[in-house]
Amino acid sequence: MPQPAPLRIAIDTGGTFTDCVFVRDGRLEILKVFSTPRDPAEAIANAVEEILGGFPAATPIELTHGTTVGTNTVLERKGARTALVTTAGFEDVLVIGRQYRPRLYDFFFSKPAPFVLDRYRLGVRERVAADGSLVTALTTAELRRVVARMRRLRPEAVAVCLLFSFARPEHERRIARTLRRAGFLVSASHEVHAEFREYERTATTVANAYLMPVLGRYLGEIERRVPAARQRVRVMQSSGGTISAGVAADQPVRTILSGPAGGVVGARYVGELAGFDRLISFDMGGTSTDVALIDGGLATTNEGSVGGVPVAVPMLDIHSVGAGGGSIAWFDRGGALRVGPQSAGAEPGPICYGRGTEPTVTDAHLILGRLDPDQFLGGRWRLDAARTRRWMARAAGTRFRSLAEFAGGIVAVANATMEKAIRVISVERGYDARDFTLVAFGGAGGLHACDLAAALGIGRVLVPKFPGALSALGILRSDVVKDYVQTVMLAASGAGVVRQLAARFAGLERQARSVLRREGFLPAEQRFERALDIRYRGQAYELTVPFTPGFARAFHRAHERRYGYSDPGRPMEIVNVRLRALGLTDKPALRRQRFAGSSPRAAHYRRAPVYFSNRTWPTDFYVRERLRAGNCLRGPAVLAEYSATTVLLPGWRARLDAYENLLLEPAP
C-alpha cells in the first residue's frame, strides 16, 4: 500500500511565538504557540502535535524550519568549546581582525572576545602560496602532533582554516580527515567558505564549528520529539533557501538569519500577488524588527555580521534592530525614555500576558486602546488590562502627566528606532523610500505600519493575509538552495575572460547538479543563477552583479548607486564567481477570492475610544477574518485577527484585495 504524501509544515521559531503554516484540504492554515526559550524543540513538538490532531493517525510530515538557535547561541556566547588549527604564524588572526573601530569615538569600546581561547589555537607547519603553489609540505609527523594536541585539549569542535586553502585545499583535507577519524567534530574552511580574506574566512569557519554541536543536538531533539518528521526535516538558510537537516548540522553558520529570511521571501510573494515589485519588508516580532529592501529580486550580501562576528556566507541583506512588541521600556541615567534592545520574550513576556512586570511596547498599545484584550490570538488568550495599568503606572512614576502619555512615548521611541533601520537599507544606499511599498508583517508590524509610512513619506502599505505567520509562509514556499563560490582574481577585460568564466561556472554547475540529483530533484526541477564579485583594481571590496553579457555596465551602475560615482575607464577585477543552485519545490499559494462589495459591516463588532496624537478618537473595531475581498474602510480603525493586529490611523483608508491582503494608504 503506497505511503500517503507527507503533510508539509513550516515553523518559524521567534523569541515570543512559534508560528506554523500548513495546508489542509488545499487551504493554507496557521497556528501560533508560545515559544519555549529554554527548550525551543518543545514548542515545535507541541505545535506539531496540535496540528496532527486534525489529520489521520500516522500521517507523515515534512517539516521546514526557521530557527533562532544559531543567532541566540552567537549573541549569548553559549556555543561549543572550540579549537582552531591554522597555518603557523596565523594563530592570532581572530584577535587581530580588521583595523577599524565600529564606534570611532567610544574610548570604552572593547571588541567581542573570540570564540577560540589562546591555548586552543594551534599553528601547523605547512604553507601554500597565494597562487596555490606549494611552499612547505604537510608531514605525517605534523598530523600526529595535531591529533595529540587535540586529544589533550578535548575540544567539542575543531575549526581548520589554513592560509590560501581556497586555492589549494589538499592540506586542509588531510587534517580534517585525520581529525574526523580520531573522533573530532570538524569544520573545514574549504567546505564552509572557500574564499579569500583570511580573517573573514577564519571567523566564519570558527563560528560554524562553534555552532555545530549546539544545532546538531537541537535538530536531533526535533527528530526525536517529532517522529513523524524523521528524515524529512529541512532548515531555512540565511540566503533565502532551505537545506536538509544533515547539511544544516554540518554548516549551521548558514542558518543564523533563517527566520528573518523566510519573512523576506514571504514579503516578495505577497508583493507580487498585489502587483508591486519594489518593496520594503518590515517584520516586527516580539523581540526584534527585521527590514530589507526588495527591488525586483532578493538582494544578498556576503559581508554579514552577527554579534560583532563576521559571517561571510551568502545571506539576504537584512538589517535588524532590537525593537519588537516585547521590547522593554526603561529610563537611562539622564532620565530619558529608552525602548529595547532588551526583550521580555515569551518568559515572562509583557505585563499584559500575566507574568511580566516591566513595561513593553505591547503593553503601551494596550494602554492606548489599540489592542482588544478579548481578541488577542483570536480570543484564545485574554490580555490583562488592569494588571498592565498598575505596573505601567509604577514604572512611569511622576514623569508623565498621564499613563497614555507614557504609552505614547514608548510607541514613539520604538517608531524612531525602526524608522532609522528603514533609512539604513533605503536612503543610505541610494534609494528613495517613497518609491516603494511597505510590507508590514510579524505580530506587531501592523500596529506601527501607518506611523512609519507617514514618517518616511511612503504612500502605500501592504499588510498581508496571515501577517503574524508570513515568515513561516515564506519558509514553506522556499526552494532548496545550494551556494557555491570560487575565487578567480581575473582582469575583467582580459582576452578570453568570458570563456574562462564560463568554464569555471560549468565546473560548479556539474557539482551542483550532482548534489541536487541526490536530493531527488530532476533536471527540469533545477535552476542556476550565475553572479560575479567585481571591483575596480586597487579597491579593497567588491560588488556582486549577475553574470550577463553586460556585467561590466551593471557593475558601473551598482557602484554609482552604492558610492555615488563610477569610473568606466578604470580597469576592473573579477574576484569571485558565484553559483546559486535551486531545487524547485511545490509552492502552496493564497487563493484568489471573489469580490464581495465595499461594505465591511459584517466584520464590524464595536466602537471604542483609542489614543492617536495625544487625544482620543472614536474608533471602529473589525475582525479581519470576516472582511471580504473588495471591502473598504476608513480610519481610525483597529483590525484584530488571530495572528496580529493592524491599526489604521485617522486620515488613512484601507481596501482588501483579491488575495485578502490589506492595502493601506492616506485618504485624499
Residue 428 forms part of a structural domain: no
Across the chain, what does the average pLDDT equal?
A: 92
For residue 490, the number of C-alpha atoms closer than 13 Å in the C-beta half-sphere is 20
**Same domain? 102 vs 209:** yes
Instruction: Provide the domain limits for residue 232.
Output: 7-73+219-254
pLDDT number for residue 2:
54
User: String of b and e for 615-633 (b: at least 16 CB within 10 Å)?
Assistant: eebebbbbbbeebbbbbeb
Q: How many domains would you assign to the chain?
A: 4
667 contact partners, CB below 8 Å, separation of at least 6: 634, 635, 651, 652, 653
Where are the alpha helices (H) located in 113-244, listed in sequence order?
Answer: 140-153, 170-181, 189-192, 198-225
Residue 1 has pLDDT above 50, yes or no: no
Residue 532 forms part of a structural domain: yes
Residue 568 has pLDDT above 80, yes or no: yes
CATH of the domain at 156: 3.40.50
CATH of the domain at 514: 3.30.1490
**Residue pLDDT, tens place only, 90-139:** 999 999 888 777 777 877 777 788 899 999 999 999 999 998 999 999 99
State the average pLDDT over residues 523-527: 95
**Same domain? 622 vs 637:** yes
**Residue pLDDT, tens place only, 177-223:** 999 999 999 999 999 998 888 999 999 999 999 999 999 999 988 88
**Same domain? 238 vs 186:** no
State the average pLDDT over residues 611-633: 95
Residue 282 forms part of a structural domain: no
**Same domain? 82 vs 207:** yes
**Residue pLDDT, tens place only, 415-466:** 999 999 999 999 988 899 999 999 999 999 999 999 999 999 999 999 999 9
d(CA 36, CA 223) in angstroms, rounded, equals: 17
**Same domain? 625 vs 509:** no
State the average pLDDT over residues 583-593: 92
Residue 495 has pLDDT above 90, yes or no: no
User: String of b and e for 522-539 (b: at least 16 CB within 10 Å)?
Assistant: eeebbebebbbbbbbeee
pLDDT number for residue 4:
64
Cβ atoms of 66 and 470 closer than 8 Å: no
**Same domain? 12 vs 118:** no
Residue 468 has pLDDT above 70, yes or no: yes
Query: Helices 170-181 and 140-153 meet at what angle, rounded to 10?
Result: 50
Which amino acid appears at position 408 of this protein? G
Pairing of strands 17-24, 632-634: unpaired
